[in-house]
Structure formats: structure tokens, C-alpha cells
Amino acid sequence: MNSRPYQHIRVEPLSSALGAEISGVDLARGLSDEVFAEVRRAFFENLVVMIRDQDLTEDQQCDFAARFGKLTKSAGLAGTSRVFMVTKKATDRGRNVGGHWHADGTQMERSPLGSALYALEIPPYGGDTMFCNLYMAYESLSPGMKKLADSLILVHSGTMGYGGQGHVAQDVIDKRPEMYDFEAGRIDAEHPLVRIIPQTGRKVLYAPSPMSFYFKDMSVADSAPLIKYFQEIAEKPEFTCRFRWTKGALMLWDNRATYHYALNDYHGWDRTMRRVQIEGERPFGPAKPPTEAVPEVVATVRAADPVVA
């Protein structure tokens, strides 16, 4: 990655795959346009950024996230608030929210560009969040597999994902039923498996998530081995990074170019996070042309190490 130096902020990469910590900003006071432009560039270059030691009200968190785009409600979230509390109590047993590799809201027509997650309460150990770089996943494919991937449309189905045989764990919903609106989450979308991220002009493997069940024009059975294959590529340890939380940390991730995994290794402790989501463009790529104006390229991103490929 040949990033231009930053003038107003400090950006420290976390791994050679993705992720960085930004320091030198106080989000509660608001950012000038110059400083925000650097934070935005650092975000698109590193895909996930964490800014520690922030003291943010809900409104301040929303105001910061809204500088990246319109805020959008999480799919399947009850009520009118755009804020989703990601909570696990000391007394909770079983699965946590997001305790598997996934991207948020992939069944939405405009699946989120990104999320801003703020740590209100964190356990003394555990509760890290892992991410993987979907640019690297795409680049690691052989030319023949790239050609196949470029041609595929994946069906992301909230209809199949929520309830019944779905992948959304019922025990997670049962713990806080007031938070979820089953019907609102039961929507479907067809997205290209390979999408272009407008702000970098590069391709990602928009890999199958727990809401993806089959490729367009293929049966569920035909799709299953391919889905598994692409998921395993995306989750390769070499393409990941892992963030340790501290209270008051604000994290922002590109939900189109990464997958994340909230680790469930802090049983007996509370973990309380506040999440807001930023609306994305309609996914486009080689198999699906854009249907609206495409934002300009503003950032370069890290490329896959050929040794890993």
C-alpha cells in the first residue's frame, strides 16, 4: 500500500492484512473537514479503524457516523431507533450477537457501507472482534476461479435466514425478543459475489454470509460446496486482524470489504456496545452493473501478499 502521509492524525496499522488505530482526534468535539477527510481516507485504506478513549453520547456517535453517509436501521431491529445495542450479560448463556464470521445486513438491497461500534462496557478479558480482508480473498483466487466468481450472483435471504431452518440463532433472539422484528428482517436481495468498492475502485469477494443460501440459477445443493469454498477463502488467518477493546473505543468497519466475528470468550461478564450503521450503495460488480452514480476513488488499499495466494 502506498498511502500518502497524514498531516493531522496518527494512523498505526494493526496487521499486514487490515486494521489500524487512529489517534489525535476527539470525536466529541467534532472534526474539521481537513481532519475528517484524513479519517475517512484512513478508514477506506485500512478497512477497520479504532479510535480509543472517546467519551461519546449517542447523538455524538450518530453525528460522526453520519458524516460517512445516511444512517440506516439494522435489518430485523424492532422499533424506530437506528441504534442497536449489542449486549451480552454476565448471566447470558449460549451464543452472543455476531459470534460467527459475517457481514451485517447482507439481505438488504443497500447492505450497509459500514458500522460504528462504541464500547460502553467491556469484560476484563476476551470479547475481541476479528475481521478479514475481502480484497485479499478475491486477489488470492486463481485466474479461472476469478472468472467464475466474477460471473456469480448470490442470493442473500432473510426469508430463509430468520426463523425456521435459518442461521440466525434462536437463542440469541430469545434473550432479548423486544429488540427484534422478525418480519422486518425477512427480506431478500441478489448481490454480485464480486463487488467493486467505489472508493477504491477495486474488487472484493463479497463472500457468502450466514444469510446466503444459493447462487442465482443454481440449486441450494449445487451452491453449497461453492459457498463453503468461498467462505473458507475469506476466513484465512493471513487475511485477518483482531482488535482488543477498551472502554470508550469507537470502531468503524467497512461492511462491504470485510467480514467480522465477535468472540464469545468472556462468560460471566457484561459486554455492552452501541452500534449504528451507515447505508451503502446498491452492490455492483462484473455480474451486475451500477444502477446509480458511483462515488469517486479516494483511497488505496493493501494488496494480498503473493506468498499467501
Binding residues for ligand SIN, per CB under 6 A?
86, 97-98, 104, 117, 129, 260, 262, 273, 275
| Cα–Cα distance for residue pair 168/160, rounded to 1 Å | 10
- 31 Cβ contact partners less than 8 Å away, ≥ 6 residues apart: 25, 39, 64, 67
Alpha-helical runs (H) found in the chain: 33-46, 58-66, 134-139, 143-151, 158-161, 170-175, 182-185, 220-234
CB closest to ligand SIN, residue no = 98
Closest approach of ligand SIN to the CB of residue 17, in Å: 18
The three three-digit cell numbers of residue 202, written as one number: 477495486
| Nearest CB to ligand SIN, comparing residues 199 and 255 | 255
Closest approach of ligand SIN to the CB of residue 124, in Å: 16
| Nearest CB to ligand SIN, comparing residues 96 and 140 | 96
| Cα–Cα distance for residue pair 235/208, rounded to 1 Å | 11
| Cα–Cα distance for residue pair 69/113, rounded to 1 Å | 8
Closest approach of ligand SIN to the CB of residue 104, in Å: 6
Closest approach of ligand SIN to the CB of residue 121, in Å: 12
Closest approach of ligand SIN to the CB of residue 132, in Å: 13
| Nearest CB to ligand SIN, comparing residues 195 and 275 | 275
Closest approach of ligand SIN to the CB of residue 202, in Å: 24
Q: What share of the chain is helix, strand, coil (3-state, %, to 5)?
A: 25, 25, 50
| Nearest CB to ligand SIN, comparing residues 86 and 155 | 86
| Nearest CB to ligand SIN, comparing residues 203 and 260 | 260
- What are the start-end ranges of the E strands in 168-217? 188-192, 194-197, 202-205, 212-215
Contact between 151 and 287 (Cβ < 8 Å): yes
Closest approach of ligand SIN to the CB of residue 261, in Å: 8
- What are the start-end ranges of the E strands in the chain? 10-13, 20-23, 48-51, 71-72, 84-88, 114-121, 129-133, 153-157, 188-192, 194-197, 202-205, 212-215, 240-243, 250-254, 258-262, 271-278
- 244 Cβ contact partners less than 8 Å away, ≥ 6 residues apart: 128
Side chain identity at residue 54, one-letter code: Q
Cα–Cα distances (Å) from 10 to 50, 51, 199, in that order, read 12, 10, 21
Closest approach of ligand SIN to the CB of residue 302, in Å: 22
| Nearest CB to ligand SIN, comparing residues 261 and 284 | 261
